[in-house]
Chains A and B, each alone.
Chain A
Amino acid sequence: MSCEQHREKITAYLDGDLSGLASAELEGHLDQCPECRALAQKLGLGLEVYLALESARPEPELPAGLADMIAAQAVQEMGASPRPQRRRLIAAVAGFILAIGIFAGYQMRPHLSQPIASEPPNINLTAIRFESKGVGVEIKGESFVLHSKDKQGKAAVDLKF
């Protein structure tokens, strides 16, 4: 094996990545060849200096609020481009709002004409629950809550209006 071929193995040797046999062979060559030995020493020292210098540097410091800022931006981007799960959710919301709109419109009709002595609307808006395409919807008073479950059945997203 030529010097060049031996030299290519020096880094692996210094790092302990060479097999026992290959290491022994290279060591044998290094004992005999001053140039290759000098290179091995230079490479070894170069790394020692590099490590000494880099270890002496403090860990980089990042601004305290960076993680929160990144998270806020990431979630905003995710919201802007809905994924399939969220598309179902948004479709469910849209459908629900439409339903509410129609329902509210229907309820308003009695007010447009003469008051009729009929019983008041018997549908209680304070407790409605239904499910649509895997999205649970619950109405409490003036607010409504949408629950979405992921594949494992765990609550993934809760939206409150």
Chain B
Amino acid sequence: MSGIGLVLNVAKDALLSQQYALGVTGHNIANVNTEGYSRQRVDLEAKEAVPYAGVLMGRGVGVAGVTRIADRFIETSISERTSDMTSLEEAEGYMRVLEGIFNETSGNGLSAQMAEFWNGWHDLANNPPGDPERAMLYERGVQLTDAFNSLDADLAQFSTELNLSINTGVEEVNEITAAIADLNTRIVGLESGRVANDLRDKRTVLLRGLSEYLGCKSFEQENGSVTVTMSKGCVLVQGNEHYNMTTVDNKIKLKSSIVSEVDLTASITGGKLGGWLDMRDELIPEYQADLDASARSFMGEVNKVHSEGMGLSYFDSATTGTYTADSSGMLSTLDFGQGIDYDKDLTVWIHDSKGTADSIDDDIDSITIDMGISSPQSPLIGGAGTADRTYRFTVTQGGAVGTDTQIIRWESFDLSGNPVANGEVGGVPGINGVGSYDVEGPGPMQLTVADGDTLVEGNTFTINTSDTGAPIPLSATVSGTGNSALDTYVFKVAGGGGGTIGTDAVTLNWSNTITSGTIEVPAAGGDVAVDGMIVNFTSGLLFEDDTFVVTTDSNRNPTLTTSSDWHWTINSLAGQINKEITDESLTGLTASGATALTLTPDSSDYSYAFSDDGSNVLAALGINTFFAGREAGTMTVNSLLDNNDNIAAARVDPEGALVVGDNSNALDMADLQYEEVSVAKWSYSRGSAATSKDVLCSLEDYCHALASSIGVKSESISREKEYSESIVNNMTEIRNSISGVSLDEEMTNLIKFQHAYVAAAKLISVADEMLTRLIDVK
């Protein structure tokens, strides 16, 4: 090629290259505000020289490519840190709202309402018969329950909102992963010796978007596609494939072709989803459980004191307990059955002519119920009764074996629960000394009593017989510690789940105050784990709906009581009350009920009252209590108090009188505010069972501590968020410093390339002149 041609060619290439460079600079300027855009640079290179006239002659400039200036390490770090930040941002937002809900700083919070409630009792103590004081106290009780109810409702609302957010978040994640998979396909297709700069920027933005929803990691493959994984090694995107997450029953699951469906609810950390899940599964339930615990303790303690007193007059109409036991009727299955003290008594008064309690005369009489439990607690049953029966034994005449005569009544029921036979153990005269006494059947079935045994009237137990008539009580031990302190775990044989332990698998449903579940006793019996405890089943014949309970103490140590141990049921208590009334040659009051106790005066001439209930059985039954309900959400003022006269400021005096100016119960109630009571403190952790411990503090202090703990949590989340925000800001600054477009820089480049372009154009005109001159020579 001739020299001039070369010059022209060089000029042409230069012109085109500079024009290309101007184009890229323009692209940079245009995208100065585009999110995630990384600046691009034209790589110009000198073309390979060719030998000409003995020398190697340069052939001008060429465009080698367009490079995207980005640091993958920084981009990945930003994504990861963004997860932390958004997680904390969400948590912070919700904590701010929580702080508002629990705002005690304004003086209208829960503890202020409690203080008002106690003050109401002081005022009532100052004027026990006063109608305004009673009405005011009632109102304050209602306001306090409203405060508990609305806090509970607010927390529940939170959970609902969080569920919605989580569902939306999961859909969002699925859309993002789909888009990433799509970009993977396009990038792999476009890149063959080239780099798809803008698509990669787009993908980086999407990856960061994904990180905003959950903590994840991305790896670039050799072919340019990225693989996105998250906790538990689950793959969200691989090549052109993406795997959708689903929400089922508030659980987040991932179904991929590689692994079977995995539950990710407990393992998603970081990102908005992580933040929401932390709130929904850790913080909110914890505050809710603590709120419930304080409501429970509050109701329990107030009810205990309230049921010891009486209103202005005896009750003249039927009262039914607001708390119900389960179908077994065992007192320990009552919501507040844990608080019953079986070493104490209860006194019931009956007034046999309707009138005010002031006209006290001989018409008032009392009965006392000994709420004790027979010893030993597990009665000894042997021999063989009728096959396939449930036998129920009830002590109708108690006393110490060897000194008195005791009578135990037995009843048998067939598998459908129909009564079949009944009688008295040992027949007439009953149990009159150490030995074994016949019940019935071919064996016959026998009850054995030993020296030192005590039988308490009204105690009862049941036992099932096998198809050979052998009585098989449940034999089980419990070890470990329950997760919930001072609680009652009620175990109940599920529908169709009965059988003989050691032969059949038995299904049991269990529940305590905050949670419930189902366990399967293997056919061979043995250990079964329940909420932190291990129940070891040795033997036993269990029919459908058979019940046993495990109670935990303040150290969470469990104790198991079966229905084949001596215990009280609502039915046996009602029977005992009726028996005592008859024994004392009284009339006028009838007790009844299977799952809730009802006391009914026989006619309008009779009225009744209670006193000296050291056993707290009335509080557990929900009779003559201030509050009804079992937790913060269901707490209400007992409808009994709709008649304000029933607010118990007084106590029945030893003669059975109710004195109008007596304020002894109100004074005791007012003292309750200073008393340290035991309240459960819960701690929740995602992925493991919640546990409670027992703390001793005044009820108001507990509320203060609850508010304070919300403040502490909120403060620490805010601080962490600020920290992680500053890291993300710093990294973004570094990223911008590397990849961001600088207009000043681009303007300079613009001038630079413009000048080069002008110069190249000049070269063409010079070559043109050279050619013209050459042609003119002819």
> Do A and B originate from a single complex?
no
**Which B residues form the contact surface with A (CB < 8 A)?**
none
